[in-house]
Structure 1
């Protein structure tokens, strides 16, 4: 049986000599070489190709981490064992990340040092008892974080797959509408009346509006992921937020009922205008999709308890109590069946909640008297905000 050839690297001559004597005293081992710093240890490993390298953690020339990493590069079959006076968790983990298979604390018994060398030769790890408990605790924490990260990645992949599937469906519908109308005009244009052409054009425009809102929602979601809560804000009149949101519904404007002209008063919020409007777009899109065509969607504003509330009331089927949190999750509709009849990607309300939270506000939903839902977007109000009295009927229905 061939002896285990051991390289010893330590900047203290007394330590090198003591370990060399210990290794030489074992009939199964021999000293392959000694080194006083990392550079010398790496060069010696390249030259003698030891079976085991016992290296000091804090020696000059880059220390044990550099020596361990580069010894494994120049002599891949060499098993590296760290030798250190340090028992702290950080040092141990740093050496483990560098590729050592063992960690021996100086002052450890001769038997344990020889035992560690033998185990490392077999590719088996070994830690001094002084550091084992701390390292196991840290490794357990790392494992837990790794498992949590893996679950998050798995959920992210699931969400991405679901997003691609839903996007395919949601984009397919308006694109098919546009293609169908275009083909109708191309094939039968000469026989179509002006009224029929106008209806076809209106359908194309609505399909385009839907695609534009979809892209806007996705862009806003990406911006929130990128910027978090670091986007710039400023005092914004709430009326300007509403008007910006209404611009996303040029063909449904007559279905959205606003209070009288002076209802907004001097009401302002501290917000990023585009994102604040996007939150309202998500709520309006939901309300328009679920309300009968003949029923208006009403928008109001009020201030209570230091918050400015944008109120959107519809005459849709309402939201079951058990769904009032879930509808603010991504890709969720109250009707989640494959035969659902209402349009929508299911990210509008999810995005609205993310935006409101990023502004330090909230969003909620309740029942509307007589049927339907009332959504409330609550922004922290600026000092001096004073909206005029508004539609008492709408407020009384909350």
Structure 2
């Protein structure tokens, strides 16, 4: 068993997250991001549609919702509107994932719904998502702590009021164990009273069925050795999250097992008016079947209630003394009665001086009592409320309706109600209140009256709204600046780095701040040169001419990759014009440089490919023009055939280049319609019939009738290219097979041949431009080296994939997929 006076406990940090997104890959990515956050623990439920998300919201009541703005059966705001329809003040613990970051109408709609934040789906990273969800989670956890504290204070006030209203110790005891068990959601709560020899009896109990009652059970002194009793006298608290790991004596463990008990929390009840024997008994709460980690608020609650019970003991003893006293003790009884009355008056004064409006209602919602705070809140004297309902007082209809519904719910279930309202302020505008409706019970456990506490949360609501708006603006600015921003001090130490730099370089913020920029984030061959320029320029003014406002140099990412950055550097100065550092804004031009390089290489290859047929045409025509072949008609015809063949090849090359360029730059809009797969494949086979007959190749097909959503001409173009290659590279009298298969999400096409096959190292490269296994193929087979690149572009624009499987000397199979329908 563990003993302690106080320690740090955390409110449950498990956060339930509802993720609503129709993209399975996006959901998996977001889940992976959140699971990488070691500072929070998330229980994530997934939904693909608005309907599924709403159903999970109603059944699970998650803490946080991550909602895609566009869903297959509606828009995300519809789900958010449904989630927040019972809240008078829009405030949703939800983050919207949207592609419309710049659409002010969407943003305004989300703000009106009370959405906590939003993220652009294209910009979501592990860091940004963990930061946003973590910040929202921290706020929720803080609210949990505040709510728990408020609920505990309300419970203490309620018990205190109960003690002062009822002098019967048994009734007070039952009220305490009942309220403690309900508040802590425990299996059993008891009050144990010690005898003088440390034996004792359970005098009050609240137990959750089906556990057997232990009321009036006697326990011998062997279960409470003198050392333990001494610790109880000193006010020590005994905490056992699991009795089997608490190092208890065998005798003590047997006693707990007889209840049964798995986890226990025990605080002593000490009488301040008995110095010789202050220990009266114990206030104990148990979990019968499962272990439990007891929180500090749980311990503090039992300690405060043990003090309240001690007051009740004292109060009960006074009451007993009054009952058994004779006339000789009348004066003393009067003094005790006056003392009790003074306590009651102090409590009433405390309620009257409370800034919160506190009212007691009967079961018909008629006001029996209301404190003076009502005049400041509603500009109505308390006396006008007595005997009336809020409806009769002509309070706002929406507030009255909610109050009546919540009171009915409380009377039906016995559960405390909590909600928020707005109310017209006497000073103009709106005030905001959190309402707690608390049942008050009689000795038989029946609800007799209802306590309503109106807590003014106006300043909190306005502050949260202002803070949320300020954070949204700053966060939006930082998230949408797609440039690197880095701030250095005069020592070259990083003092600031924005999220885009972290995203580009792959670092966490703590891995960057406080580190030397030059030795950690620049290539080794540049470190000394740039560091020297920086040091001289920032230390001595006359070296500033060497400081380049515009500079281009690479940085090193966490993975070791070099990224080329074009910088705009600015020197920062303090009010005394002293240099304090630099701020640099950089554009990642790595991809741009790669594109330039690819463009240059492409131009070089195209120039070579064009030059070859042009040279051949020029040579043939030159011989004809010179007249050398006038007397040799057969040779002249051969030269013309060469010129015609190379001209056709040149035309095909130019057409393929233009076609591929249009496809790659997305300037071709796919004209999609529903087509029959068999019809499209037959068109392609008919187109290749002459070539297959010429090469003595048989085209065999297995083509089911399947509807497909495609650009028919482009799909036929793809099939023709692949069939043409299969025919050209197949030996005579062999077969080419064309099949199509329907799978759950896509249609799979296969074109197989019995040709020479493709070496393994070329299986990926052959889909690149001008990439052929044998350079002589272009001349011998009449190809341009662009056909497979065009096929890949067409398939990818349809949302599919293309690949090849091949074995040398046995043939190749080209496969590609087309989704049933890309929305």
TM-score normalized by the length of structure 1: 0.50
Does 2:597 correspond to 1:154? yes
How do residues 86-235 of structure 1 correspond to structure 2 at under 5 angstroms? 127-129=571-573, 135-136=583-584, 138-139=585-586, 142=587, 145-169=588-612, 213-227=652-666, 230-235=669-674
Q: Secondary structure at the match of 2:601?
A: helix
The verdict on how the C-alpha distance between 1:364 and 1:240 changes in structure 2, with shifts beyond 3 A counting, is same
2: distance between equivalents of 1:177 and 1:280? 35
The verdict on how the C-alpha distance between 1:336 and 1:200 changes in structure 2, with shifts beyond 3 A counting, is closer
Paired residue total? 261
Q: Secondary structure at the match of 1:334?
A: coil
Q: Secondary structure at the match of 2:793?
A: helix
1: distance between equivalents of 2:663 and 2:656? 11
How do residues 34-73 of structure 1 correspond to structure 2 at under 5 angstroms? none
Does 2:738 correspond to 1:299? yes
Cross-structure match for 1:358: 797
TM-score normalized by the length of structure 2: 0.27
1: distance between equivalents of 2:691 and 2:733? 11
TM-superposed CA distance for 1:373, in Å, is 0.7
2: distance between equivalents of 1:257 and 1:233? 31
Does the 8 Å contact 1:297/1:313 carry over to 2?
Answer: yes
Q: Secondary structure at the match of 1:236?
A: strand
TM-superposed CA distance for 1:329, in Å, is 1.2
Does the 8 Å contact 1:287/1:297 carry over to 2?
Answer: yes
2: distance between equivalents of 1:303 and 1:208? 42
TM-superposed CA distance for 1:215, in Å, is 4.3
Structure with bigger RCO (C-alpha 8 Å, 6+ apart)? 1
Q: Secondary structure at the match of 1:355?
A: helix
Q: Secondary structure at the match of 2:600?
A: helix
Does the 8 Å contact 1:220/1:275 carry over to 2?
Answer: no
The structure 2 residue matched to 1:290, chosen from 729, 732, 746, is 729
Does the 8 Å contact 1:229/1:358 carry over to 2?
Answer: no
2: distance between equivalents of 1:379 and 1:343? 29
Q: Secondary structure at the match of 1:292?
A: coil
- Of residues 349-358 and 286-295 in structure 1, the stretch that sits farther from structure 2 once superposed is 286-295
Q: Secondary structure at the match of 1:135?
A: strand
How do residues 267-346 of structure 1 correspond to structure 2 at under 5 angstroms? 267-336=706-775, 342-346=781-785
TM-superposed CA distance for 1:227, in Å, is 2.2
The verdict on how the C-alpha distance between 1:231 and 1:187 changes in structure 2, with shifts beyond 3 A counting, is farther
- The one-character-per-residue Cα deviations of 1:69-105 (angstroms, maximum 9, x if unpaired) are xxxxxxxxxxxxxxxxxxx9999x9xxxxxxxxxxxx
- The one-character-per-residue Cα deviations of 1:110-161 (angstroms, maximum 9, x if unpaired) are xxxxx99x8699696662147986732x23xx2xx23442232022111111
TM-superposed CA distance for 1:360, in Å, is 0.9
1: distance between equivalents of 2:662 and 2:759? 31
- Of residues 371-380 and 201-210 in structure 1, the stretch that sits farther from structure 2 once superposed is 201-210
Q: CA RMSD in A?
A: 4.9
- The one-character-per-residue Cα deviations of 1:45-81 (angstroms, maximum 9, x if unpaired) are xxxxxxxxxxxxxxxxxxxxxxxxxxxxxxxxxxxxx
TM-superposed CA distance for 1:331, in Å, is 1.1
Does the 8 Å contact 2:700/2:735 carry over to 1?
Answer: no
The verdict on how the C-alpha distance between 1:152 and 1:286 changes in structure 2, with shifts beyond 3 A counting, is same
Cross-structure match for 1:241: 680
2: distance between equivalents of 1:381 and 1:163? 37
* Higher-Rg member (1/2): 2
- The one-character-per-residue Cα deviations of 1:361-395 (angstroms, maximum 9, x if unpaired) are 11111136971111112212369xxxxxxxxxxxx
Q: Secondary structure at the match of 1:252?
A: helix
Cross-structure match for 1:266: 705
Q: Secondary structure at the match of 1:315?
A: coil
TM-superposed CA distance for 1:318, in Å, is 0.4
Instruction: Select the structure that is richer in strand.
Output: 2
- The one-character-per-residue Cα deviations of 1:152-192 (angstroms, maximum 9, x if unpaired) are 202211111112212333576799899999x9x99777x99
Instruction: Select the structure that is richer in helix.
Output: 1
2: distance between equivalents of 1:331 and 1:346? 4
Query: Which 5+ residue runs of structure 2 have no aligned equivalent?
Result: 1-476, 484-537, 550-569
TM-superposed CA distance for 1:259, in Å, is 3.9
The verdict on how the C-alpha distance between 1:210 and 1:377 changes in structure 2, with shifts beyond 3 A counting, is farther
2: distance between equivalents of 1:201 and 1:339? 20
The verdict on how the C-alpha distance between 1:327 and 1:160 changes in structure 2, with shifts beyond 3 A counting, is same
Does the 8 Å contact 1:281/1:348 carry over to 2?
Answer: no
- The one-character-per-residue Cα deviations of 1:280-336 (angstroms, maximum 9, x if unpaired) are 233223223322244343322222343222221122210122211111111111224
1: distance between equivalents of 2:777 and 2:699? 35
The verdict on how the C-alpha distance between 1:216 and 1:344 changes in structure 2, with shifts beyond 3 A counting, is same
1: distance between equivalents of 2:684 and 2:777? 30
1: distance between equivalents of 2:758 and 2:779? 15
2: distance between equivalents of 1:249 and 1:339? 19
